Amino acid sequence: MSALDPVTFAILTGRLEQIADEMDATLYRSAFNPIIAEARDACHGLYHATTGATMVQGAKGLPIFVGAMAFAVKAVIDKVGEQGGLEEGDTFIFNDPYAGGTHLNDFRLVRPLMRGGQVFAWLASVGHWLDIGGNVPGGYNPQATESFQEGVLIPPVKLFRKGVLQQDIVDILQANTRLPRSNWGDLNGQLNALDLGERRFQALIDEYGDAVVSAALEAASARAEALMRQNIAALPDGTYSFEDYLDNDGIVDERLTIALDLTISGETMTLDFSRSSPPCKGPVNIARSTAVAACYVALKHVFTAVPANAGCLNPISFDIPATSFLGVTAPRPVAGYTETILRMIGVVFGALAKADPARATAAPFGTINALSIAGHRANGERWVMFSFFGGGLGGNPQSDGLNHANNPISTATIPPAEIMEASYPVMFTQWALRPDSAGMGAHRGGFGAIYEIEVLSPGGADVSLLGERGRYAPFGVAGGQPGALNNFTWDSDDGPQTAPMASKITGVKLRQGQRLRLETPGGGGWGDPAQRSVEAVARDIRRGFVTGAA
């Protein structure tokens, strides 16, 4: 048997992915906050010793972290290169969104996997902590004008030195959150995942040897690159342009443009976002690493057979200038990064639809609707309910879009009403599909949802929303129609209220018994609605998805 025959490669690929999956499961089962435990807003993987490139990622981790985590691990590698002092048992922690992060809530733990005193690879874990300080509980401050208003920023520092916990770092983290117990539980869940991953990887390398495992990792990356080149080469050469918009930045009520010029030349692709809007005052800016990760996710949705590692990005170049709001540096606010990357993914879909209509996918609903509801329990303890919500995905050449799905940035799930009601003093008085919210087409979009939430806490609650698609609906393709707009309302003593910025608001106060209502967008439609079968239309009407008038 050769050092790496096809059977050995297949076995090692499966074993490596299984270890990352087990790390994911360890955190999901031990995290304290529902955003990790239920929604699975986390990721684990194995990264290259010198470049930080993603080599292995768990199947259930968030795809958006694949590209971003490579930059995060590289930030640690660079720090070690500048300052030295790396030893076995060290573990770094940080949440810097400009050094391979996304936003301040996402805490990264990075640990070297040592073999014979040398770094063989890096293990990393990232999870969304529920509260990290800042002006708004939960961190999604729609009126932030700098990152200091979004929470505490921790640069890469050693949480463990030679395997010894640095309690002063923990003390700093605990002092800068409204929910120290929740964050402490999530931190330990991530550490347990790293411990397990380290044991499993070491045992695998002991079994097969350093050289064979290294060869398998290199072969997996080369395979991903070859498949991506093959997929790109199948598209017609040319430049394909597409634009879409954000409602506003939460501060200035003007739209922001994400413009893409996608060029295909042989087996390479260039994504040029230089025509996009400049950096904005509000929290929908993103760092370059986040923008690259968003493009990776979009392309992975289109080219589904390409493995999830950094090799697939080798044939792709990016033009994301710092003069745009897609490549900012500190201290530009970035809490609402999810809204921006969702629009980026849609824009990539739109450009590729022009290159190959057979692959065209209409826009998904395109907002996580980051909703924070917070208050005090009867005993004075703080509570912070943060969640994201579902909507409709876009129609495509094969089928209608999914109803009440999660956004294409992740494989996360929407936390169940039962979990939320058990964890916080709220009650969901409605959770239903939203009729007439899908974009019509030969294959319609998926339907959005209606969520109505009543506050049960005697002291009431403070409410903030950082969302999108309140003014620019999810687009249809190939003649399909757009989905419905996002709609957010809440009770007040003066009657129902709406957000002046359409999709972003903070400072809302609800008394016990008052409710808020979130109606999420549906996905865009694919193809001429006149080509939809009579049977499909009748079925939608019979199920109450579409009204007779619509």
Give per-residue pLDDT as tens, 178-205: 999 999 999 999 999 999 999 999 999 9
Give the separation between CA 46 and CA 25, rounded to whole angstroms. 16
Q: Would you place residue 301 in the very low, low, confident or very high pLDDT band (cuts 50, 70, 90)?
A: confident
User: Does residue 61 have a pLDDT over 80?
Assistant: no
Average pLDDT over residues 130-137: 94
- The pLDDT value given to residue 397: 92
Average pLDDT over residues 152-166: 97
What is the identity of the amino acid at 516? L
CB 282 within 8 A of CB 332: no
Counting residues of the chain whose pLDDT is more than 70, the rounded percentage is 98
Candidates 498, 5, 494; CA nearest to 485 is: 498
- The pLDDT value given to residue 307: 85
What ranges in 106-179 are assigned the alpha helix state H?
A: 167-175
The token pair at 377 is 């329990």
User: Does residue 31 have a pLDDT over 50?
Assistant: yes
- The pLDDT value given to residue 513: 97
CB 4 within 8 A of CB 86: no
Give the separation between CA 411 and CA 299, rounded to whole angstroms. 15
How does pLDDT run across 216-240, given as a tens digit for each residue? 999 999 999 999 999 999 999 999 9
Q: Would you place residue 1 in the very low, low, confident or very high pLDDT band (cuts 50, 70, 90)?
A: very low
Give the separation between CA 23 and CA 42, rounded to whole angstroms. 10
Candidates 250, 524, 540, 523; CA nearest to 390 is: 523
User: Does residue 444 have a pLDDT over 90?
Assistant: yes
- The pLDDT value given to residue 66: 67
User: Does residue 550 have a pLDDT over 80?
Assistant: no
Average pLDDT over residues 16-36: 94
User: Does residue 271 have a pLDDT over 60?
Assistant: yes
User: Does residue 3 have a pLDDT over 80?
Assistant: no
Mean residue pLDDT of the chain comes to: 94
Q: pTM (2 decimals)?
A: 0.93
- The pLDDT value given to residue 2: 47
The token pair at 506 is 């903070």
User: Does residue 497 have a pLDDT over 70?
Assistant: yes
| 304: helix, strand or coil | coil
- The pLDDT value given to residue 357: 82
**Computed over its alpha carbons, how large is the radius of gyration of the chain?**
23
Give the separation between CA 91 and CA 83, rounded to whole angstroms. 15
Show me where the domains of the chain are located.
6-225, 360-550
The token pair at 277 is 């809007």
- State the burial class of residue 114 (Cβ atoms within 10 Å of its Cβ: 0-12, 13-18, 19+): middle
